[in-house]
Structure 1
Amino acid sequence: MGPSIYLNNVGLKYGDNTILHDINHSFAAAQCHVVMGPNGGGKTSLLRSILGLTPFSGEIHIQWPEAKGKLGYVPQKAVFESSLPLTVMDFILLNQSRTPLFWPNWRNRSKQLGHALAQLERVGMAARADRRMGQLSGGEQQRVLFAQALLDNPELLVLDEPTTGMDEQGVRYLESLITELVSEQKTVLAVHHDVTAVRRLDAHVHVVNRQLVDSGSVSEVLVPEKIERLFNHYTSASQADSRALENVA
């Protein structure tokens, strides 16, 4: 089972620029949580803080049900040089825990290849296992990154705009996979910008605009009368609107 995540007075500044301000919130275990908000509102910074990739003030606790479990992460984007002779399968094998690319034990090598191919199959990329990473489209690369995040069967999966550059088929693959993971009691935490796609996921939505603006089910948060205010970029006026919205939400 996946963990729950608790944030206590979480803040983040770069110089005099406030990115996140006094966020007190929790993400329940074994559910899909989607963080939304305007560009520059601190969504990715919040994910990076939870992952421990950036310094922050306050406290963040990842509470595992038993021993500390495994975590998978899909960044927003990766860049692969087209001339680099690194195939999709090479990339997946390199990312398998404790597995060198040129494995001397061919019996184990065969097992690792089978596992890698199975994860590529889950994201619809098995047929392109021999293609170079740099020759794939941006959306196809994202699907491969998703496959590598699944290699260790993580209980917590963190996704930063996982559908960037994807076509509709790729988006549907990942939506189906996220639904499957949640049914397995995994915790999924994702930054997403597509309101229509998030509605299909039926996730718990958390709107961040330097502070927590709103949180609840899709039907509670992504309603027409709220959306325009929820996704306005942060200003002193929009901060006041956000506080007013919190009081009535």
Structure 2
Amino acid sequence: MRRNQYEITVENLSVNYGGHHALKNISFSFQSGHLIGIVGPNGAGKSTLIKAVLGLEKFSGEVKVFGKGIKEMRKKISYVPQRSSIDFDFPVIVEDVVLMGRYTYIPWYKRIGNKDKEIAMNALEQVGMESFAKRQIGQLSGGQQQRVFIARALAQQADLFFLDEPFVGIDATSEDIIVDLLRQLQKEGKTIFVVHHDLSKVEKYFDQLLLLNQELVGVGKVKDIYKPELLSEAYKGSITLFENKDKMMVVSN
């Protein structure tokens, strides 16, 4: 594929619930190799945007991945949902959770092979969870659980990643491991979208930003979008901004 080709293009994407606009006319394009933060206030439609792009929500508009529809490119797209949406009481061990990332490559009539198990274990090693392979997922801490679901995404060997609030309720060590891993994926030419709520870490974590409040407020390089006037427009008084010569501070109201 040509390096200058857009990996993902979204045009005029809208989502409506009973006549209410959850998202309205969202358009953006990104080439490969970006780590993109999706930020905005509560109720802005951040998670809805991810689900619509993945075809998990009904929407109007168009979504293309390397010029093709989502269904055609499903194998190359990985999704890590919010942990709150997952039933951790279900009796499944860590290794089997990660192996789920391989299902898209395995015909229904075949069993999981040694190669798939090797890929799954390599993914667990990348997130520092290989020693927990036989542990039940519900027995892990929040940070450990999140690292396992990142490993599942890695095992899928996708090119395009969507993570919904991956840092909520996890420990600092797990957050550092995940951020380092996302940066490595970016260096490998992967494209990663991350729904994120902590504005104080936006400049540290991302190179691109998608600022949202039902409509698109701004999209582009962090240095061009992470600005007081755009943040104020998106958050509409729900944050207070303090600036000095070195850094902009953000305080929730």
- TM-score > 0.5, shorter chain as reference: yes
3-state secondary structure, aligned to 1:197: helix
Higher strand share: 2
* Code of the aligned partner of 2:29: S
3-state secondary structure, aligned to 1:175: helix
CA drift of 1:123 comes to: 1.3
Structure 2 residue 72 is matched with structure 1 residue 92: no
Q: Hey, what does 1:198 align to over in structure 2?
A: 202
Q: 1:186 aligns with which of 190, 193, 196?
A: 190
Q: Hey, what does 1:242 align to over in structure 2?
A: none
Q: 2:132 aligns with which of 128, 134, 150?
A: 128
Q: Hey, what does 2:162 align to over in structure 1?
A: 158
What is the TM-score of this pair, normalised by structure 1? 0.80
3-state secondary structure, aligned to 1:96: helix
Q: Hey, what does 1:44 align to over in structure 2?
A: 47
Distance, in Å, in 2 between the alignment partners of 1:196 and 1:144 is 26
Q: 2:17 aligns with which of 14, 18, 21?
A: 14
Structure 2 residue 145 is matched with structure 1 residue 141: yes
Aligned residue-pair number: 227
Instruction: Specify every segment of 5 or more residues in structure 2 that has no aligned partner in the other structure, as ranges.
Output: 239-253
3-state secondary structure, aligned to 2:119: helix
Residues 39 and 233, structure 1, Cα contact 8 Å, conserved in 2:
no
Distance, in Å, in 2 between the alignment partners of 1:10 and 1:202 is 23
Q: Cα RMSD over matched residues? A: 2.7
After superposition, residues 214-225 of structure 1 pair within 5 angstroms as: 214-224=218-228
Return 189-198 or 217-226, whichever deviates more.
217-226
* Residues 142-186 of structure 1: CA deviation (Å, up to 9, x unaligned): 111111011121111111111222111111111111111111111
* Code of the aligned partner of 2:44: G
Return 132-141 or 87-96, whichever deviates more.
87-96
Quickly say closer, same or farther: Cα 1:146–1:233, change in 2 above 3 A.
farther
3-state secondary structure, aligned to 1:185: coil
What is the TM-score of this pair, normalised by structure 2? 0.79
